[in-house]
Chain A
């Protein structure tokens, strides 16, 4: 074989093997030092974000409270007792009728449950109902003086009551067939069995969210 052919064959062999080893890469034009620097910068950014996110997670965890709270859905007349995402009790309730009563003197009352965030301010056994003025107006009866003993009515609010303030309570009812409807004058009426669970579980200071 002449030296010329040998040279050409060697040259082609070198050409082929060099191409096989190096390949043709899309990133071949990127300087590897630049690439290393970019990756390092991205690693640092990812670490920074991870640290920030952990900080936020801790902050949110601290603000979250793990205690029991009550939620009253006035549209569907349901009360749930919850601890976070766990529902401990769902009860059919009665909520404000959204009716109104007007007195000749001009006073009027709208019977709506109090929306918003409330707190259990007290707990009662065998609560007594002190008839408010509207209950007389509603029945077209004369309104007695504030301390009239006639205003004291027993055994109409069930065995227990949770006091929410401003005259509102969560209490029992004789009208259990109306639970699940809007029939009260603003208070939240609950069936006996559910009321007992609430009374025994809920503490003073428990939050009540009514929407």
Chain B
């Protein structure tokens, strides 16, 4: 009887041992490779973003128009021409607006003037630059960035429709 039971168990045992996964060292290697893959993907994304900006700058070096570089997290911006800084300025945005900002090149599509002077610079659906004191609808799908009055006025008159800007969120 006992022999019969053993004989019944044996195939299951053989089946089980055949399916036992790979040895410990291969699993360790797999885990390391997966982690490496993740890190390499992140590194590649970062390198691509860096390249995107450098290609933007290279293009604007040869261009005959002024452009903006906006470092949103750092709260700084630059008005530039052919790679030279014409003006540094400070900028600010709400946390809500900051979350909507995506790194990349944008184009000035509209300059809005009001009775009391320049109001805003609209970069399509990507961004609106405005004077710090400007009021705007509370809920706005387009993220807004504010500049001090003097800086905004200087930048407003310096750039023309079609001017480029590059944002770093």
Contact = CB atoms under 8 A, between A and B. Distances in A.
Interface of A: 2-4, 7-8, 11, 14-15, 18, 21-23, 25, 27-28, 30, 32, 35-36, 38-39, 42-43, 45-46, 49-50, 52-53, 56-57, 59-60, 63-65, 69, 71, 73-76, 82, 84-85, 117, 207, 209, 211
Q: Give 8 nearest A-B pairs by CB, closest first.
A: A22-B21, A42-B40, A49-B47, A56-B54, A211-B158, A35-B33, A75-B154, A18-B20
A78 B72 CA distance: 25
Interface in B1-47: 2, 5-6, 9, 13, 16-17, 20-24, 26-27, 29-31, 33-34, 36-37, 40-41, 43-44, 47
Given A39-B36, A84-B85, A75 B157 contact: yes
Contacts of A71: 86-87
Contact of A76 (B6, B57, B150): B150
Where chain B touches its partner, the secondary structure class is helix
Where chain A touches its partner, the secondary structure class is helix
Contacts of A53: 47, 50-51, 54
Contact of A42 (B16, B21, B44, B79): B44
A87 to B, nearest CB: 8
A209 B81 contact: yes
A164 B66 CA distance: 20
27 contacts: A4-B2, A4-B6, A7-B5, A8-B9, A11-B13, A18-B20, A22-B22, A22-B24, A22-B27, A28-B21, A32-B22, A35-B34, A42-B41, A43-B40, A45-B44, A46-B47, A49-B47, A49-B48, A49-B51, A56-B55, A57-B54, A60-B54, A63-B58, A65-B84, A69-B84, A73-B154, A82-B85
